[in-house]
Amino acid sequence: MKKILLVYNPVSGHAEFKNRLDNVIENFQRRGIFLSVYRTQAGDNSAFVDCVKISKPAGVIAAGGDGTLHAVINWLKNFSIDLPVGVLGSGTSNDFATHLQLDDENFFDAVAAGHTRPVDLGLVNGTEFFINVASAGVFTSIALEVDSRLKNFLGKSAYYLRGLSELKNFHAVNFEISADGEKFSVEAFLFLVLNSPAVAGFKKISSVAQIDDEKLDLLALKKSSPAGLLGLTKKLFAGECVDNDENIFYLQAKTFEIKSSAELVGDIDGEAGDPLPLKIETVPRAINFFC
Contacts (Cβ under 8 Å, ≥6 apart) of 260: 136, 173, 174, 175, 176, 276, 277
Quick check: is 271 catalytic?
Answer: yes
Distance of CA 268 to the CA centre of its chain: 7
Selected catalytic residue, list 176, 257, 271, 281: 271
Cα dihedral 54, 58, 64, 67, rounded to 10, equals: 90
Taking the C-alpha atoms of residue 62 and residue 8, their distance in angstroms, rounded to an integer, is 6
Catalytic positions, please? 271
